[in-house]
Amino acid sequence: MRRGCRVAQKIQQPEKPRLIEEELNRIFSAEWLRKTAEEAGFVKRDRKIDPALMFWSLTLGFGVQLQRTLACLRRLYEEKGEIHISRSSFYDRFTPELVDFLHACVIHGLENITMNPSRVLKDKLVSFEDLVIQDSTIIRLHKKLADKWPAVRTRKVAAGVKLSLLVSAVEDGPNV
């Protein structure tokens, strides 16, 4: 077995196994990926590298592993696309234009998340209008800032800032 290229073990499929796949394909359709790749300059002409296949190989090719080699990603690309591609044809695609393409994909995904309708509380929480979660933390600063930003709950001279966030579980974001 090659380093960084473990074969994924088969896991039990949920009741609706295609739900996530269908939603991802709705958000990142092959047509949208190809159009965006062309706009970002990643694809100059239609040749061996398919931007949609490249996107899915790079984004989902990692699985539960944190590291993958470029060779392993190339083999995954070849396997899923059922083609053979030279090393240089694959490796030479890792350019600033690929970064621009992937950046546009991230922005598109984030915009899609914000457009989703609000969540509805279920069963035991239905009588509540909203569920809010508060999180607070203290960020320690350099002690020379103690005059301007005195820390709370400390016995020594220290500086700190308390940061609080109130998040709505229904709106999936800050509660305003």
Q: What is the pLDDT of residue 44?
A: 79
Question: Which three-class secondary structure state does DSSP give residue 90?
Answer: helix
Arithmetic mean of pLDDT over the chain: 80
| Statement: residue 36 has pLDDT above 80 | yes
Question: Which H or E element spans position 109?
Answer: helix 96-115
Q: What is the pLDDT of residue 13?
A: 53
Q: What is the pLDDT of residue 73?
A: 87
| Statement: residue 10 has pLDDT above 80 | no
Ramachandran sector of residue 154 (left: φ over 0; alpha: ψ -120 to 50; beta: rest): beta
Q: What is the pLDDT of residue 33?
A: 95
Pairwise CA distance, residues 33 & 53, whole Å: 9
CB-based burial of residue 54 (10 Å sphere; 0-12 exposed, 13-18 middle, 19+ buried)? buried
- Residue 127's CB is within 10 A of a number of other CB atoms, namely 6
pLDDT tens sequence across 90-131:
888 999 999 999 999 999 988 887 676 556 667 777 777 777
Closest CA to 93 of 60, 54, 56: 54
Q: Over pLDDT 90: what percentage of the chain?
A: 21
Task: Give, in degrees to the nearest 5, the angle at Cα 116 between 111 and 119.
Answer: 140
Residue whose token pair is 């002690």: 143
Contact 62, 70 (CB under 8 A): no
**Confidence band for 22, pLDDT divided at 50, 70 and 90:** confident
Closest CA to 70 of 52, 57, 56, 51: 57
Rg for the chain, CA atoms, rounded: 23
Q: What is the pLDDT of residue 103?
A: 94
| Statement: residue 162 has pLDDT above 90 | no
CB-based burial of residue 142 (10 Å sphere; 0-12 exposed, 13-18 middle, 19+ buried)? exposed
What is the residue type of 42?
F
Q: What is the pLDDT of residue 120?
A: 65
pLDDT tens sequence across 125-156:
777 777 788 888 888 888 888 888 887 776 77
Q: What is the pLDDT of residue 175?
A: 54
pLDDT tens sequence across 47-88:
778 999 999 988 887 666 666 788 888 998 899 888 898 898
